[in-house]
Structure 1
Amino acid sequence: MDPFLLCAGLMKNPKSLLLMLWMMGSACIQVPDLEPGALPDAGSLDARPVSVNWLSPEAGSSTNGTLRVSVEVTGPSPDRVELLVDGTPVGLFSASHSLNWETWSLAEGPHVLAVRATRNSQVFTSPERTVTVDRTLPRMTSQTPANTASFVPAGTAIHATFSEPLLASSVSTQSIQLTVNSAPFSADVSLSGDGRALTISPRTPLPVDSQVAVTIDAAVTDLAGNRVEATSRDWRWMIPSYLLVGEPLLVGSMETSYIDQTSLRIGGDSRPVVAWAQRGSVHVKRWNGDAWEYLGGPLKSGATNNVWDSALQIDTEGRPLVAWIEYFESSINQFHARRWNGTAWESLGTFLNSSLSGGRIDWMDFSSGTQQAPVVAWEERNGSQHQFVLRQWDGSTWVEKALPLPVPRAGNVYSPGFDLDAAGRPVFTFGANDAQGAAVGHVVRWNGSTWQDISEGLEGFPTARVFHPDGSLLVGVTARVEGRWRPLVKRWNGSAWLAVGGPVDSDFSTHGRALNGIVVDAQGLPMALLTEVHTQPGTSSTVGQVRQWTGDRWEDVSGVLRPAPGMWKQGLPSLALSADRAPVIAWLEGTDPALANSVSAVHVHRVNQ
């Protein structure tokens, strides 16, 4: 029916007014459409969408166990909300739309998460989010310095890389600590942007002669919360006072090596040259800046002879000279010498024998000076005589430098050595037994025509000597100081012995100490090499330390020179001074010398700086 006609008819019947008004409200006024989901009657469906938004975890998260999953649900209340992992339902959410997801049954690696909400027959799904299950402990894959390294250069940067990223918030100066000799050492700790590279930066230089360690606390984890593998949390190394120059030097294998002593000089090119006798021959090597290179090959005069002592010198033109003693036929000895001409060894005259009838040579050496023609000395003896002999190379033959120096009482000689003053006059220092059998120190100088004993007032046992550029003689001695044996450097001023400062060592030691080398730098300041024997079980060895006179006191040049762990320093060291005034030391190092099959090699050391 037309609404207008219906309304007009009703107006003719006043009694029907109320009914008319009601009819007008339903037929004459426009009624808006129902909102979606409105319930005009009990059978209508709510079609409004359900929205599911992530609260946790973050995209790209990792977990090693239980993961808290939370979402925000808006719109009509769903009938159920469930978590999907790789498309498979794994659990229902609580009324607060949270779920603790247990990941233990899943394989390690990335997994795709989604949340599905269901209302009546409608399904609403959240965006996907990838989470990685990671139960593998992070570990160090590289370290600088290497763990347990024994010869780490001073100033080496401290870095480590890990098998996977670390959690940045777990890395701090509290969770990663640097120690030196077990004491905390101030350092900054930083992690690279990808979380894999760790850098530790000491705020002050690390000291030499120290053990350094990095301790990583269990609080340091990867992104999944896995602690760093235990074997990667303890990282330590040594910063020694001295570093090896190249590799240890020997001929053949370590298992078959035996070396008695070594000799070291600095060549005309400011690089070390070292000589030693081993396996019946003399061997000379020179440092080329990257490695040790042979100068020629093994040296000896005959296939049946054997070499047991050698010495090295550098001539005025910077060429290495080497001399050695060969023995054969029941202790008959020969002295041989060669000079390196740049491509080969050339002979310096024919061999020399002991000047004594039936004599043997027990010791030989070159003088330390390089501003004169080469001079060599040796100790010789027979059944009735014992003396020192000097020979100088005049360009074509070895000539007598001075008369032979008789040794008192023809007994044993201790710590023999000699040198030349600026005028070329030699001086010998040594110890010999007196009438009571006690060792007595001697300093004897050639005055041009006779030997002059200047030992009186020395009051010590001489073990090293060198001439100062001012002409004075410096002698290293072991002497009594306040009732204790201490190393001293004494200077002969032409009429008396004067101590250069006090004891060279910084304090008294109960171990045996000796001064086994003296050099003088370009400023005229002497350096002294101290050696000390440690005899405790498990650490029995010799160690060394160089100290320099500053003009008013003795100071450390560096820390203590120690053998490598499990090894022993053997014999006497050889000391030289590099072009930059740094000490260089050649020393034998090997297994326990008390063992019947002890082996050794030549180690050349430079200051770690």
Structure 2
Amino acid sequence: MTRMRSIPALLILATAVGCSAEVTTPPAPSPEFPPPDPVVTLTSPTSTVFTRAKVKVEVAVSEGDAEKVELLAGGQVIASSSAPPYSFEWDTASVAEGPHVLWARASANGKTFTSAQPQLVVVDRTAPRMSGFSPSTNAVIAGTSAAVTLTFNEPLLASSVDASKFTVADRPAASARLSEDGHTLTLQSAEEMSTPVSLHTSSFNTGLTDLAGNPVGEIHFMSAQLVPEWTARFPLLGTSRGSEPPPAPTLVFDASNQAYIVWASKEGTGPTATRNVAVLRWDGTSWAPRGGWLNIYNVVLYSAPSLVLDSTGTPLVAFPEWDSTGNDANAWVYRWDGGKWVNLGGAINAYIGKTIVWDVALAVAGTTPIVAWAEANGTQMDLLVRQWDGTSWKALGGKVNATPGESVNSGFDAHSLSLITDRDGKPVIAWSSTTSGITEIHVARYTGSAWERLGSAVNVFVGGEARQPSLAIDKSDPLQRPYLAWVEHLPSLYADRIHAAHWTGSAWEALGEGVNEAPRDRAAHPTLALRDGWPFVAWSEPGETTSTNIQVRELDPVTKRWRAQSASLSVYPSPTYYSSHASNPWLVTDANGRLTVAFSEHDENGNGGVHIYSPK
């Protein structure tokens, strides 16, 4: 057996270790990853900005670091920062007005990174302006409150709207509402305003701004007229018009506010049809006839019966009527005796032989009736006046139209004469006459022995055709100066203007430039009434594109201009002139001073009649 030599343990261990070092490979180092790209975000503003000054802009950078952050507008760098926080203040004072697109851009590792969502900034240094309003200046609205709408050329800031900064009709606005698009501001007037009133809208400091903060300046404008709402005071008095001219009613009230009305109405059809006169009285629930028909034969076409109450409240009525031959027409006057109509003096006319009385007007001095009429004398129309002395009719002077060649215009105008009495019982009469081709209005007062003209003709325009006068007088006036209204046709303009004037004692003084300031063709039949000594006028006139309606206006005591007292009165409003036709208004004040107008209107089928309206 062979004996092995021993090997030291240390050597064995070293050898083992050395062998291990020779065969073991060290691990490879970990790879190095590039830094992440920064994400750029515009955090403010987050929506479109309207400005006229400085804009604060904030930018956030995430997911990495930026060496530099720039702010761009319209592709141009307007600011930059190399360290957070990235907050900028952009002064737009020298920037062109209009929209600008805002971006943020970050630079890192030789690259640039842009914000994903740009923001729009609108630079606006121009103050907003009011571009319109409604209702229009000439509009008339019935009611006790109204809304006024202001339109602006650009949107307004909703938070700048404050109703307390506005007045409508010189009273604080009740509310203010801005439309969704910001262009329209609606101001509501106060409720239950006293009318009529102008919707004057104003604000010395509106507080309004546009979206950029530019202030709206002072606002002052005159909008519509707010007027009382007129409604039917009495039920319709129906008539069948057919081919007849519309009836011309006369309405009066006694001291206890009992109403009486008269007009000539067509009865029947064909050759047997007649035009008759009846007086009706309101009994509290319906119109009750006072007796039957007053006429025996036909009432003269186009004429209007005249109705008055004497100082005891007794009604009297006058009208022209054809005789049995149909060749002569005379004036007739009747008085109610409590149970029937009593004729006063038989047929009234001035000329022997064939005579035609076209129009009649009636007045009273106490209990004494006075009648005026226009009568053809064979060559022209004359104006005559008589007074009842208890047994017969006595002439008051000679013919009133004493100027040679002066012919009274009558025959085709209802209420073509106007007759009143003053406080002393003296009659005052107005009429239209033509002399040498010129048609004029004249007024005369009876002095007790003769007719004295009040000034010269009251025409406004040379060559105008003045017709249809209406008189009224304030009996509390110490000088007893009458008011006058009339219509004047302007052939050159093919339009009709309603005028009014007041007798000063020596001349006629015009009241305003014209009652209907925008005259249209076919304005007609002015009727004048006084309330507390102040004049009101009603007339018929077609709208710009509508059927004929009734207008009522009052003379403004401050501006001396005529202002609306009603909206257009029409029971059958229509977009065309010939579809319906309101005409022949008769305006009065009742015993309590309440305005009331009676007028005729039929629809396109001839249905309708006499309507009576008053303010609510």
TM range (shorter): 0.5 to 0.7
Equivalent position to 1:377, from 289, 305, 318: 318
Residue 414 to residue 237, structure 1, CA distance change in 2 (3 Å):
farther
In the alignment, structure 1 residue 393 sits paired with structure 2 residue 374: no
Tell me the amino acid that sits aligned with residue 366 of structure 2. A
CA displacement at 1:532 relative to structure 2 = 0.3
Question: Is the Cα contact below 8 Å between 1:152 and 1:237 reproduced in 2?
Answer: no
Question: Is the Cα contact below 8 Å between 1:162 and 1:196 reproduced in 2?
Answer: yes
Residue equivalent to 1:182: none
**Counterparts of 1:444 and 1:393 in 2: how far apart (Å)?**
20
**Counterparts of 2:474 and 2:457 in 1: how far apart (Å)?**
20
Tell me the amino acid that sits aligned with residue 329 of structure 2. H
Question: Is the Cα contact below 8 Å between 1:321 and 1:338 reproduced in 2?
Answer: yes
In the alignment, structure 1 residue 313 sits paired with structure 2 residue 233: no
Residue 602 to residue 478, structure 1, CA distance change in 2 (3 Å):
closer
In the alignment, structure 1 residue 464 sits paired with structure 2 residue 395: no
CA displacement at 1:416 relative to structure 2 = 3.1
Residue equivalent to 1:600: 581
Residue equivalent to 1:450: 393
Question: Is the Cα contact below 8 Å between 2:248 and 2:584 reproduced in 1?
Answer: no
Q: Any idea what the Cα deviations from partners look like across 1:181-218, whole Å, max 9, x if unmatched?
A: xxxxxxxxxxx9x9978999xxxxxxx9xxx9x9xxxx
Question: Is the Cα contact below 8 Å between 1:300 and 1:307 reproduced in 2?
Answer: no
Residue equivalent to 2:306: 366
Q: Secondary structure at the match of 2:528?
A: strand
Tell me the amino acid that sits aligned with residue 336 of structure 1. A
Residue equivalent to 2:485: 529
Question: Is the Cα contact below 8 Å between 1:377 and 1:388 reproduced in 2?
Answer: yes
CA displacement at 1:518 relative to structure 2 = 0.3
Tell me the amino acid that sits aligned with residue 394 of structure 1. D
Question: Is the Cα contact below 8 Å between 2:466 and 2:489 reproduced in 1?
Answer: yes
Equivalent position to 2:367, from 403, 419, 423: 423
Residue equivalent to 1:402: 345
Equivalent position to 2:150, from 155, 160, 184: 160
Question: Is the Cα contact below 8 Å between 1:570 and 1:589 reproduced in 2?
Answer: yes
CA displacement at 1:521 relative to structure 2 = 1.6
Q: Percent of counterpart pairs with the same letter?
A: 23
Residue equivalent to 2:498: 544
**Counterparts of 2:398 and 2:273 in 1: how far apart (Å)?**
33
Q: Secondary structure at the match of 2:368?
A: coil
Output aligned runs, 1:183-582, within 5 Å.
290-299=229-238, 308=247, 310-325=249-264, 326-328=266-268, 330-354=272-296, 360-362=299-301, 363-369=303-309, 371=311, 372-382=313-323, 383=325, 384-406=327-349, 408=351, 409-430=353-374, 432-435=375-378, 437-448=379-390, 449-452=392-395, 454-456=397-399, 458-459=401-402, 461=408, 463-478=417-432, 486-505=440-459, 507-514=460-467, 516-524=469-477, 525-536=481-492, 540-562=494-516, 568-579=521-532, 581-582=534-535
**Counterparts of 2:119 and 2:48 in 1: how far apart (Å)?**
6
CA displacement at 1:446 relative to structure 2 = 3.2
**Counterparts of 1:102 and 1:292 in 2: how far apart (Å)?**
55
Output aligned runs, 1:48-59, within 5 Å.
none
Residue 333 to residue 508, structure 1, CA distance change in 2 (3 Å):
closer
Tell me the amino acid that sits aligned with residue 93 of structure 1. V
Question: Is the Cα contact below 8 Å between 1:145 and 1:158 reproduced in 2?
Answer: yes
State the superposition RMSD in angstroms.
6.0
Q: Any idea what the Cα deviations from partners look like across 1:76-132, whole Å, max 9, x if unmatched?
A: xx97552269xxxx84526999897998696xxxxxx686676989x9x9xx99865
Tell me the amino acid that sits aligned with residue 375 of structure 1. L
**Counterparts of 2:250 and 2:281 in 1: how far apart (Å)?**
12
**Counterparts of 1:306 and 1:476 in 2: how far apart (Å)?**
24
Tell me the amino acid that sits aligned with residue 511 of structure 2. V
**Counterparts of 2:384 and 2:422 in 1: how far apart (Å)?**
19
Tell me the amino acid that sits aligned with residue 534 of structure 1. L
CA displacement at 1:426 relative to structure 2 = 2.0
Question: Is the Cα contact below 8 Å between 1:149 and 1:236 reproduced in 2?
Answer: no
Give the unaligned 5+ runs of structure 2: 1-44, 59-65, 82-89, 158-175, 188-195, 203-207, 410-416, 549-575, 588-594, 596-616
CA displacement at 1:377 relative to structure 2 = 1.0
Question: Is the Cα contact below 8 Å between 2:540 and 2:584 reproduced in 1?
Answer: yes
Residue equivalent to 1:252: none
In the alignment, structure 1 residue 83 sits paired with structure 2 residue 71: yes
**Counterparts of 2:494 and 2:223 in 1: how far apart (Å)?**
19
Tell me the amino acid that sits aligned with residue 399 of structure 1. V
**Counterparts of 1:575 and 1:564 in 2: how far apart (Å)?**
19
Residue 365 to residue 588, structure 1, CA distance change in 2 (3 Å):
farther
**Counterparts of 1:603 and 1:130 in 2: how far apart (Å)?**
68
**Counterparts of 2:490 and 2:122 in 1: how far apart (Å)?**
56
**Counterparts of 1:464 and 1:394 in 2: how far apart (Å)?**
26
**Counterparts of 2:96 and 2:71 in 1: how far apart (Å)?**
9
Output aligned runs, 1:28-43, within 5 Å.
none
Equivalent position to 1:146, from 135, 140, 144: 135
**Counterparts of 1:503 and 1:490 in 2: how far apart (Å)?**
11
Q: Secondary structure at the match of 1:388?
A: strand
Q: Structure 2 length normalisation: TM-score?
A: 0.54
Residue 298 to residue 416, structure 1, CA distance change in 2 (3 Å):
closer
Length, aligned pairs only? 434
Q: Structure 1 length normalisation: TM-score?
A: 0.54
**Counterparts of 1:477 and 1:306 in 2: how far apart (Å)?**
21
Residue 388 to residue 581, structure 1, CA distance change in 2 (3 Å):
same
Residue 385 to residue 530, structure 1, CA distance change in 2 (3 Å):
closer
CA displacement at 1:513 relative to structure 2 = 1.3
**Counterparts of 1:500 and 1:545 in 2: how far apart (Å)?**
17
Q: Secondary structure at the match of 2:237?
A: coil
**Counterparts of 2:489 and 2:507 in 1: how far apart (Å)?**
24
CA displacement at 1:403 relative to structure 2 = 3.0
Equivalent position to 2:540, from 587, 592, 604: 587
Q: Secondary structure at the match of 1:495?
A: coil
Q: Any idea what the Cα deviations from partners look like across 1:354-412, whole Å, max 9, x if unmatched?
A: 2xxx5555434233445330011121113254211111112211112333202535344
**Counterparts of 2:232 and 2:151 in 1: how far apart (Å)?**
36
Give the unaligned 5+ runs of structure 1: 1-56, 73-77, 107-112, 168-191, 201-207, 215-219, 229-234, 246-288
More displaced stretch, 90-99 vs 314-323: 90-99
Q: Secondary structure at the match of 1:410?
A: coil
Question: Is the Cα contact below 8 Å between 1:139 and 1:162 reproduced in 2?
Answer: yes
CA displacement at 1:510 relative to structure 2 = 1.3
Residue 299 to residue 317, structure 1, CA distance change in 2 (3 Å):
farther
Question: Is the Cα contact below 8 Å between 1:311 and 1:322 reproduced in 2?
Answer: yes
Q: Secondary structure at the match of 1:425?
A: strand
Q: Secondary structure at the match of 2:288?
A: strand
Residue 92 to residue 333, structure 1, CA distance change in 2 (3 Å):
closer
Q: Secondary structure at the match of 1:351?
A: coil
